[in-house]
């Protein structure tokens, strides 16, 4: 039934729309202003895997809290499923995993997730069945009857994810779902996000792990100090031209090294091999010819494209006037 409900929405439908959303906190005795979010706009369409990025303190969690109705905006508007936030009708259709899932320490994952299922309106029997299913899906079925206070950080994170999934939501909002997970755990969450999208869900998540975003997301928004600095379709944001080509050689004689450096190429060592770094890809042929003529063996030729990390560093870190 859940899947039928999931598939009934129109592709191209806007599920989240933030329009100049803003939040200014007042802090301390003097009510000092902290402008955490300063006019953030973006949209999330049905079927998207949407990455919400930004350095620490950029305003990601604050934005997510406004979207999920935990705090009220001080400016701008947002809608979820077309309902202005906060909206209990919209909340009934989304699964939320907060940044630090708070789970009552004396409950077991089974008890906690089942309780979340009941809060989502499931009957006792279907909450029980669905809990078993999602705990298995997030990989902690083996610890499902251990008290939460005895779980590791990663296991707690997985419990939070199970709680977000139990109500069979159309939209998943996940604040740092990979934090605290080991490499296998991160891969599990990546696989889970793909599987959930294939099942018809839309996923909006924040993270710092850029390589995960690069493999997962259709669209991204990068925040810096409460403002959007980059937004769009990921493959359009990454410049596809070759930035650099690395030619790996088994060895480089001193004469060849001098020749390559004289021609403006950097030569470095890595893993017992020598790597010649060539700007762009136009002069690769000339380097290969020189290497072969000098008797070196070519191990690998690797074109390097711009990565999301390059975009992130350029726009969110180096572009920050406060850090320039």
Ligand X SMILES: Nc1ncnc2c1ncn2[C@@H]1O[C@H](COP(=O)(O)OP(=O)(O)OP(=O)(O)O)[C@@H](O)[C@H]1O
Interface contacts to ligand X, rule CB under 6 A: 25, 27, 34, 36, 54, 56-62, 99
Q: How far is the CB of 179 from ligand X (least distance, A)?
A: 9
Instruction: Decide whether 181 or 275 has the Cβ nearer to ligand X.
Output: 181
From Mg ion, ligand X, none, which one binds at residue 56 (CB under 5 to 8 Å depending on kind)? ligand X
C-alpha 84/C-alpha 82 separation (Å) is: 7
Instruction: Decide whether 9 or 86 has the Cβ nearer to ligand X.
Output: 86
CA–CA distances in Å: residue 87 to residues 39, 71, 75, 152: 21, 12, 17, 34
Q: How far is the CB of 99 from Mg ion (least distance, A)?
A: 5
Lookup result for tokens 């770094």: 277
Side-chain half-sphere exposure of 260, counting CA atoms within 13 A: 32
Q: How far is the CB of 68 from ligand X (least distance, A)?
A: 13
From ligand X, Mg ion, none, which one binds at residue 27 (CB under 5 to 8 Å depending on kind)? ligand X
Q: Residue 252 is encoded by which pair of tokens?
A: 């480089």
**By the rule CB under 5 A, 245 interacts with Mg ion:** no
CA–CA distances in Å: residue 158 to residues 25, 167, 179: 31, 15, 10
Lookup result for tokens 């710092």: 208
Rule CB under 5 A: choose which of 61, 131, 144, 296 binds Mg ion.
61
Instruction: Decide whether 108 or 206 has the Cβ nearer to ligand X.
Output: 206
Instruction: Decide whether 27 or 253 has the Cβ nearer to ligand X.
Output: 27
Q: How far is the CB of 207 from Mg ion (least distance, A)?
A: 10
Instruction: Decide whether 25 or 194 has the Cβ nearer to ligand X.
Output: 25
Q: Catalog residues that contact Mg ion under the rule CB under 5 A.
A: 60-61, 99
């Amino acid at each position: 039934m859940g899947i039928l409900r999931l598939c009934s929405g129109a592709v191209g439908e806007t599920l989240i729309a933030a329009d100049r959303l803003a939040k200014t906190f007042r802090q301390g005795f003097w009510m000092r202003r902290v402008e955490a979010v300063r006019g953030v706009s973006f949209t999330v369409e049905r079927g998207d895997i949407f990455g919400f990025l930004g350095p620490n303190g950029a305003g990601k969690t604050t934005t997510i809290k406004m979207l999920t109705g935990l705090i009220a905006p001080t400016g701008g508007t947002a809608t979820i499923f077309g309902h202005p936030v906060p909206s209990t009708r919209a909340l009934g259709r989304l699964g939320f995993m907060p940044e630090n899932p708070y789970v009552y320490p004396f409950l077991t994952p089974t008890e906690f997730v089942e309780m979340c299922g009941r809060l989502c309106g499931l009957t006792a029997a279907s909450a029980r069945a669905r809990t078993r299913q999602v705990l298995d899906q997030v990989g902690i079925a083996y610890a499902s009857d251990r008290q939460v206070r005895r779980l590791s950080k990663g296991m707690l994170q997985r419990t939070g994810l199970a709680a977000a999934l139990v109500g069979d939501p159309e939209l998943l909002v996940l604040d740092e779902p990979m934090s605290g997970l080991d490499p296998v755990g991160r891969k599990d969450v990546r696989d889970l996000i793909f599987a959930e999208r294939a099942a018809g869900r839309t996923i909006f998540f924040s993270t710092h792990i850029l390589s995960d975003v690069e493999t997962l997301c259709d669209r991204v928004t990068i925040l810096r100090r409460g403002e959007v600095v980059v937004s769009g379709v990921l493959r359009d944001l990454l410049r596809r031209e070759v930035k650099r080509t690395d030619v790996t050689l088994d060895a480089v004689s001193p004469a060849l090294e001098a020749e390559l450096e004289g021609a403006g190429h950097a030569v470095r060592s890595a893993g017992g091999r020598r790597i010649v770094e060539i700007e762009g890809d136009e002069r690769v042929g000339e380097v290969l010819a020189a290497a072969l003529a000098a008797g070196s063996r070519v191990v690998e030729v690797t074109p390097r494209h711009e990565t999301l990390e390059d975009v992130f560093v350029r726009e969110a870190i180096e572009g920050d006037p406060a850090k320039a």
